[in-house]
Amino acid sequence: MTHEERNLNRREFIRLGAAGVAAASVGDLSGLAAEAVGGGKLPKRRYGRTGLEISRLVGAADWSRSIIPLAVASGVNYWHKAQKWTAETMPEALKQQPRESYYLEVVVDRVGGDHNHGRIDEEQHYQFVKESVKNSGLGYYDVFKFHFGYHSIKEAKTNHGMVRAFERLKREGLVRHLALSQHHYNNLGGDMAWEILGYLAEHSAYEAGQFFYTYGDRKELQELLELAGRKDFGTIAMKTMGGVGRAAQDPKFQKLLAESRFKGSTPAAAMVRWLGANSNLSAAVVSMKSFGEFQENVGAAMRLAMGPHDRSALGLLSSYNKGLTCLLCSQCVSRCPEHIGIADVFRYERYARDYQDLSRARREYAALTKNGTSCVGCGDCVDSCPHEIDVAAKLKEVHRLLG
C-alpha cells in the first residue's frame, strides 16, 4: 500500500470520528480495517492446553473505543481485562458477533491490598467473578486470569484459594479456562516470574501464563518459552514495547530511523514480527491508542516474516534504550537492601513516557509503599542493570516526574 493510500485511510477514520467508528458495524469497518493493514485477518495460534485458537495480537478492554471495532474487523478475537465491560459498555463490534467467535478474559486481583500486599481469598474471588458475569450479561468468561500471580513457588504449591475459586465457577459454567499473568517478586524475597511459571506449567491446573517479554530479554524467558512449548502451556507476552513510545516522540531517533537501512520497518513493527517469529509464544498484548499504532502493529502481525530492516530497527531501539528505558527484568531488585520495587517504579515511568498516560502513572506511583524517595543511595545496585541504567539516579528522576 502506498503512503498516499494510508493517508486516505487515516482521513476516512478522522472523518468518521471516534464516536462514529465505535458505533459503526464491523461489516461497515471491515473495508477500512483491511485497507489500513493491507487486507486479510490476523493469523491465530493455539493458546496452549486451553485449546483456544487466539489471534497473534490480543486486545485489551482499556484500548481506545475507536480502535476496538477495527481490531475486531482485523481478526483480534481475544480480549484481556474484559470485566471492565458491562452489558451497557461492551463494544458494539463484539455484541454483533456470535458469542462463540471471540474470547473474553476476566482478571482477578488479590484483595485487601495491591499485588504485593493483598491476599488470595477464594470466596471473594468467586463472588467478584460471579458479579462480573452478571454485569456483563454474557453468561460466561472464557478465561479466568489470576492478575499479577503468585509471590513464590511455595505460595503456588500451598495456597489453592485462586484455583478453588476457578473450579467452583467452572462447575457453574461461568468460566472455562484457568490462566495467570505473572510478575517477578524478588523485591519481597519471592521468586522470579519464569521460576513460578515453570513450576505451574509442569505441575498445576493452570493452562496458560502471561509475562513481561521483549527483545534482548533474559535467557531464562527463552527457556520458559521452550518449556511452555513442550508442555502445551499457553503464553502471552506483555510490556513488549519498552522505549517505543518515547522514541516515536524523539526527533533525533526519528531522523536516524529515516535512513535507508530501516526502510519499511519501525521498532514497533519489528517487535511484533520478532515476537511472532517465536512459535512457542501464543500471542502478545500490545497497547494501541491511535489509528497509526493500529495500522503499524496489526499490519506487521499480518505479515510476520522478519527482514534485515526489522533487525536493524530492533538494534537501533536497543541502543536507544541503553541507560534510558527499563525493560523490567528485575535484576537490580535483588540487590536493593531497602526492598524497593524498582521495576514497578520504572514500569509506571513507562506508562508516562511510552504510553503518554501521566495520570495513570501518577495514580499507580502514589499507591506504592516504597517509591523513589526510599533509595538511601547505598550503591548496592551499581552495575546491576544489563541495560546500563543508573538505578539510583533514575529513581530520583522518576520521583520528580511522578511524585
Residues that bind ligand SF4 (CB under 6 A): 326-332, 335-336, 338, 340, 342-343, 346, 375-381, 384-385, 387, 389, 391-392, 395
Nearer to ligand SF4, 226 or 338 (CB): 338
Least distance in angstroms from the C-beta of 377 to ligand SF4 = 5
Least distance in angstroms from the C-beta of 184 to ligand SF4 = 9
Least distance in angstroms from the C-beta of 347 to ligand SF4 = 9
Least distance in angstroms from the C-beta of 338 to ligand SF4 = 4
Q: Are 349 and 393 in contact (CB under 8 A)?
A: no
Nearer to ligand SF4, 74 or 321 (CB): 321
Question: Which class for 50: exposed (0-12), middle (13-18), buried (19 or more C-beta within 10 A)?
Answer: buried
Least distance in angstroms from the C-beta of 393 to ligand SF4 = 9
Least distance in angstroms from the C-beta of 242 to ligand SF4 = 8
Nearer to ligand SF4, 114 or 380 (CB): 380
**76/284 Cα distance (integer angstroms):** 11
Nearer to ligand SF4, 20 or 315 (CB): 315
**303/1 Cα distance (integer angstroms):** 13
For 382, phi then psi, to 5°, come to: -55, 135
Amino acid identity, residue 57?
L
Nearer to ligand SF4, 123 or 383 (CB): 383
Question: Which class for 247: exposed (0-12), middle (13-18), buried (19 or more C-beta within 10 A)?
Answer: buried
Nearer to ligand SF4, 131 or 338 (CB): 338
Radius of gyration of the chain (CA): 21
DSSP-H helix ranges across 96-150: 122-136
Using the structure block, give the residue that is written with the C-alpha cell 503464553: 235
Least distance in angstroms from the C-beta of 386 to ligand SF4 = 6
Which residues are within 8 A (CB) of 277 and not within 5 positions of it... i.e. 6 or more apart?
A: 304, 306
Q: What share of the chain is helix, strand, coil (3-state, %, to 5)?
A: 50, 10, 40
| Angle, alpha carbons 238-244-247 (nearest 5°) | 165
Nearer to ligand SF4, 107 or 329 (CB): 329
